[in-house]
Structure 1
Amino acid sequence: MHGNSPKSLRQDLLAQRKEFAASSSHPMAQEAILAGLASFLATYDTQIQSIALYCPIQDELDVRPSLLAWAHNKAGKILALPFARQDKHLDFYAWQENDLLIPSRHGVPEPDPNNPRRPQVTPDCILIPCVGWSESRMGDKAHYWRLGYGGGYFDRTLAQLRKAKPNLLCVGIGFDWQKLDNAQWEAQTHDEPLDAMLTESGLLITY
């Protein structure tokens, strides 16, 4: 285990991401990921009507412009943002550009759950930023895992949502250099797998 704890691994990865965001390599990697996102949206257009995205913090990749363009150009498409409940689950609420967002106790801009014009949404697809990520294999099938900030919000939420919506697509967003090997980090039994991982190298999908 890196530095004896996932906490120190996260700290190192966040410091590396900050450096990478300021590097000359970042714009090209960002462009490649956004191109991959556009291809993913085109490929899965018929099965995705609603997408939960995120407001970027700590040098996460900003996918909002791409998603706003997708929703603007496609009738009936809905975007949503997560709201963190006290029980460490996430609810998702419809979001449009210029909506007033409220900082959570973690400093993440969140939708107002009491806004009557923005109903709660059960998304068809969730885009999740990764602090780190890993790949494991069972036979010919690959599984992808997300290392997040340690709160467990997404794991709890995905476990619940997948029971209600088995076809939910959960896609991690990250960079190639964030990939971790088993000596650095291994997914635990409570970790929920990603359905796909999108990096500058393209879309890695479990099926």
Structure 2
Amino acid sequence: MSAEHKDPIRSRFRRQRRALGSAAATAEALASAAAPLLRDLPAHSLVACYLSMTGEPDTSRLLEDLDTAGHTVVVPVCEPDRQLSWRHWSPDIELAAGLFPGIPEPVGPSLGLDAVQGLELLFVPALAADAAGTRMGKGGGYYDRFLARYRAAGGTGRTIAIVYDHELLPAGELPAEAFDAPVDGVLTPSGFRPVPTSGVYT
């Protein structure tokens, strides 16, 4: 399915998020749902997450829990040509405006693919995901491009999409193109759902 066919689906999920208003505060529930994933991580793991924006499931407590547990946390930085780099995050690192207004980024040196090849876990944003591991992003392709390069270079970390409960759909309900990188699981405020390994990276 082409991008133009995906646009109406994205618009529907964006409208639903706008309608959530203040009910979108999910930091504690999301962190609680992620707790089993964090317990399974090797000590001092390298983990990718992201700084949530208004309307997205709130990742602030999840980020803090990762830091408190002693893991090294990196967050994405948008680069030209729809590429991602990464920067270290901790609660005391200063944030500044990045490539896009309104999207803060940690101050510090950017890390390329080689520096994050050892990621154990990657929490990625999504507008929706289905039980087969299909992830619908916002249409920029940043994560699909990065994940393709990461996997091609031998990266084996599990990729977890974060969505609200109503944005986790039955298998097959989201369109997928050849370049859409599947995820290994879906995290919602009510829990974590792994994706069957068939066709999905393990």
TM-score band, normalised by the shorter chain? 0.7 to 0.9
Partner of 2:8: 8
Structure 1 or 2, whichever has the larger Rg, is: 1
Identity of aligned residues (%): 25
**After the TM superposition, which residues 174-189 of structure 1 pair with which residues of structure 2 at under 5 Å, given as runs?**
174-180=163-169, 185-189=174-178
2:33 matches 1:39: no
Change (3 A) 1:101 1:178: same
Q: What secondary structure is seen at the aligned counterpart in 2 of 1:101?
A: strand
Which consecutive unaligned segments of at least 5 residues does structure 1 have? 136-142
Q: Once structures 1 and 2 are overlaid, which stretch shifts more, 190-199 or 158-167?
A: 158-167
Pairs aligned (count): 189
Q: Once structures 1 and 2 are overlaid, which stretch shifts more, 48-57 or 176-185?
A: 176-185
Q: In the alignment, is the contact (CA less than 8 A) between 1:124 and 1:169 conserved in 2?
A: yes
Deviation at residue 170 of structure 1 after TM alignment: 0.7
Q: In the alignment, is the contact (CA less than 8 A) between 1:48 and 1:125 conserved in 2?
A: no
Alpha-carbon distance between aligned partners in 1 of 2:146 and 2:81, rounded to the nearest angstrom: 10
Deviation at residue 69 of structure 1 after TM alignment: 3.0
Q: In the alignment, is the contact (CA less than 8 A) between 1:82 and 1:111 conserved in 2?
A: no
Match of 1:148 among 137, 145, 157: 137
Paired residue type of 1:199:
T
Partner of 2:105: 110
Change (3 A) 1:101 1:160: same
Give the TM-score of the pair, scaled to structure 2: 0.80
Q: In the alignment, is the contact (CA less than 8 A) between 2:168 and 2:186 conserved in 1?
A: no
Deviation at residue 111 of structure 1 after TM alignment: 3.3
Question: Any idea what the Cα deviations from partners look like across 1:72-96, whole Å, max 9, x if unmatched?
Answer: 242xx21111112212121111122
Change (3 A) 1:179 1:68: closer
Alpha-carbon distance between aligned partners in 2 of 1:17 and 1:178, rounded to the nearest angstrom: 10
Alpha-carbon distance between aligned partners in 2 of 1:80 and 1:172, rounded to the nearest angstrom: 16
Give the TM-score of the pair, scaled to structure 1: 0.78
Deviation at residue 18 of structure 1 after TM alignment: 2.3
Match of 2:192 among 181, 186, 203: 203
Alpha-carbon distance between aligned partners in 2 of 1:85 and 1:150, rounded to the nearest angstrom: 15
Match of 1:101 among 96, 100, 117: 96
Q: In the alignment, is the contact (CA less than 8 A) between 1:171 and 1:194 conserved in 2?
A: yes
Q: In the alignment, is the contact (CA less than 8 A) between 1:53 and 1:64 conserved in 2?
A: no
**After the TM superposition, which residues 69-148 of structure 1 pair with which residues of structure 2 at under 5 Å, given as runs?**
69-74=65-70, 77-97=71-91, 98-105=93-100, 107-112=102-107, 115-116=108-109, 121-122=115-116, 123-135=119-131, 143-148=132-137
2:46 matches 1:50: yes
Partner of 1:193: 182
Which consecutive unaligned segments of at least 5 residues does structure 2 have? 198-202
Paired residue type of 2:81:
D
Paired residue type of 2:67:
A
Alpha-carbon distance between aligned partners in 2 of 1:204 and 1:48, rounded to the nearest angstrom: 24
Match of 2:152 among 157, 163, 170: 163
CA RMSD of aligned residues (A): 2.6
Question: Any idea what the Cα deviations from partners look like across 1:87-141, whole Å, max 9, x if unmatched?
Answer: 21211111222423223226422234xx35x755403221112111123xxxxxx
